[in-house]
Amino acid sequence: MTVTLLHTAEVHRSRFDDLRDQISPDAELRHVVRPRWLQRAQDGSAAALEEEIAGVVARAQGPVLCTCTTLGPVAESAGAMRVDWPMMRAAAHAQGPVLMAFCLESTYAPSLALLERALAEGGTPQKVYPLPMPQYWPLFEAGETDAFEAVIAGEVRQAVAAQGDVAVVVLAQASMAGAAARLEDLGVPVLSSPELALRAVLDVAGG
């Protein structure tokens, strides 16, 4: 079975390969890494970008997973699965307020819209507490993974304590996934997207 993954950061190649080795070692992952796609999306080059992504999706063998939250709506319209959709559906099952943490401002609107769609689909509208952390994104860009994950975990802890009624935490970007392991003792489920998404797209490929 073959799955194509669309990335805007090279680091996701090894992240998803490692997950594949744990989940389904025989699956073939084909990675398309285009860092400039994120910049173009943020700069408003929408039309040309949509055409380019649609072309990649059309040529792919098997299902396609887009791992960039910002590009999610464009990729979905071209027929790809969004990396955060299985996670948002899981968050809706928590049936309580959701803390949505994110580090790129351009991901806020698509992430919130997708979460609200999942909540509406599940018939469980809930409060959503946004937790923006744009000040930490340069750490990810610089490859300072440990520092990036540590500060995200710290901010999430403080936010959960401050709100008091959070039922589930969503780490909106795939790049934030490593922070989940630092929050296993939080007492509140912390969801990240890569494993949930890969399992979902492999199910599609195998089905």
Question: Tens of pLDDT along 119-171?
Answer: 999 787 789 999 999 999 999 999 999 999 999 999 999 999 999 999 999 99
Neighbours of 129 (CB within 10 A): 17
pLDDT tens, residue by residue, 88-128? 999 999 989 999 999 999 889 999 999 999 999 978 778 99
Does residue 46 carry a pLDDT above 70? no
Instruction: Please state, in angstroms and rounded to a whole number, the distance separating the CA atoms of residues 19 and 195.
Output: 7
For residue 81, list its beta bridge partners: 65
Domains of the chain, first to last: 2-83+196-206 (3.40.50), 85-192 (3.40.50.1860)
Does residue 45 carry a pLDDT above 70? no
Does residue 206 carry a pLDDT above 90? no
Task: Write down the residue that tokens 């790129």 correspond to.
Answer: 104
Show Cβ contacts of residue 27 under 8 Å, excluding neighbours closer than 6 positions.
1, 2, 3, 20, 202, 205
Neighbours of 162 (CB within 10 A): 11
pLDDT at 123: 81
Among candidates 39, 7, 2, which has minimal Cα distance to 20? 2
Give the pLDDT mean for 159-186.
96
Tokens of 203: 């199910």
Show Cβ contacts of residue 13 under 8 Å, excluding neighbours closer than 6 positions.
7, 31, 33
pLDDT at 48: 78
pTM value is: 0.90
CA 155-158-164 angle, to 5 degrees, is: 135
Beta strands in the chain (DSSP E): 2-7, 28-33, 64-66, 81-82, 98-102, 128-132, 168-171, 190-191
67-71, 135-139, 193-197, range with the lowest pLDDT: 67-71
Tokens of 49: 């970008």
Per-residue confidence band for 42, with pLDDT thresholds at 50, 70 and 90: confident
Tokens of 198: 């890969």
Q: What is the mean pLDDT of the chain?
A: 93
